[in-house]
Structure 1
Amino acid sequence: MQKTLLRGILNLLPLAVSVWLCWSITVALDDMGHAVLTLIGLGNQWTGSGFILIFCLLLVAGVAFSVSPIIWLYQKLEKQILRFPFFRTIYTSIKDLASLAGSDGSKAQKRQTVLFKQSNGTFIIGFVTSESIPKAVNDALPNDQWVPVLIQMSYQVAGITSLVKRSDLIYVDWPFEDAMRFMLTAGISPAKPK
């Protein structure tokens, strides 16, 4: 009975939490849209109208940010706002997280999965996150070609960034998403069949 209950929880919990999270975000956006509608004097419309308003506003913003003058103005505004240290810390963290979540897959494809050997003969799985490192760091390191490698921690969002010689890396033909799933679950999550 205990195994059956556990099997039910393990299968339904991810679905239930995902549905709950998506529903909560949808309701929050709908409430935000209703607040905007009330602010402009249209009062409380039908359920879902606030969500549609926010969706349309985001669509218009996406189109607007493809126009150079709008991008230039936004960058100027962003630069002025980022003069406040506390706000800068919060804003840049959220912006980095949003850009990571909103990547269309092209950035994920550039994150090459690699292995590198430790001194005790074991290997660590990591991801090359960039083809270059900051000049100040590069100047401080011995002459060689160094790249940043992210070592993701299991069940955490955090990871460790190591600088590794490119010659010490073993490049692996393993999609970023599959390797990340393996690392985040410490190998417990089964690999997708090919």
Structure 2
Amino acid sequence: MRKAIGRTFLTGVLTVVPVVATLYLVVWLAATAETFLGGLLKAVLSEHLYFYGMGMLAGVGMIFAVGLLMQTWAVRRLFELGERLLLRMPLVKTVYGAVRDFFGLFSSESRTAAGRVVAVEVPGTELRLVGFLMREDLSGLPAELHENGWVAVYLPMSYQVGGYTVLVPGSAVTPVPWSREEAMRFILTAGLSGASADGGAQQPLGGSVG
């Protein structure tokens, strides 16, 4: 009886907590947009024209408008000039560059080779670590950090923000036919979530890296 009650309670927790956490994040983002943009709208519009939620709508509209403008050549050029200035500022270039590269990596529109899902073989064992191939050319790094044919792989941690960047021989890395989103979901949930990859033999990177 006690075990049945415990299992029932655990099932409820596992059902409710992901939903509550997701809703909390969505509400927090919406409230933040409303607080910031809503305050600006209140200062511009008269009190009877403003209604709660206008800030959130304005935020969505602004993001959509930026997306449309970025499709024009002139705006893209202006953005590139502003980005170059940001990337010349100490500290700012580190933070901005890291955030930009991270979101660009996991963007559904990204077509770059960086971020391919791979499995890294642990020498002397049958263990495999799932990660993301970040760089195949390490020639710009100090010679002490790599050898010919080595690659850089990022290994995220489960259930927390963080991970390790490891340098390994290309022969120890095998491509995995997963999308980046599927692999990240699999890693962050310690294997509890993530679509199964389709069949097909996996080929070592040794022949293509080096």
Give TM class, smaller chain.
0.7 to 0.9
Aligned-partner residue type, residue 76 of structure 1: L
Match of 1:28 in 2: 32
Alignment check: 8 A CA contact 1:150 1:159 kept: yes
Matches within 5 A, 1:140-151: 141-144=146-149, 146-151=150-155
* Structure 2 Cα separation of the partners of residues 83 and 111 of structure 1: 25
Pick from 4, 7, 15 the counterpart of residue 3 of structure 1: 7
CA-to-aligned-CA distance 1:23-47 (integer Å, 9 cap, x gap): 1211221222222213334446112
Structure with the largest fraction of helix: 1
TM-score normalised to structure 1 length: 0.78
Give the length in aligned residue pairs.
Answer: 191
Distance 1:63 1:19, change over 3 A: same
Deviation at 1:184, TM superposition (A): 2.0
Alignment check: 8 A CA contact 1:125 1:151 kept: yes
Deviation at 1:165, TM superposition (A): 2.5
Distance 1:125 1:175, change over 3 A: farther
Alignment check: 8 A CA contact 1:109 1:175 kept: no
* Structure 1 Cα separation of the partners of residues 122 and 182 of structure 2: 23
Match of 1:117 in 2: 121
Q: Percent same amino acid at aligned positions?
A: 25
Distance 1:170 1:12, change over 3 A: same
Structure 2 regions of 5+ residues with no counterpart?
A: 198-210
Asked whether 1:68 is paired with 2:77, we answer no
Alignment check: 8 A CA contact 1:129 1:148 kept: yes
Match of 2:52 in 1: 47
TM-score normalised to structure 2 length: 0.73
Aligned-partner residue type, residue 8 of structure 1: G
Alignment check: 8 A CA contact 1:115 1:124 kept: yes
Match of 2:62 in 1: 57
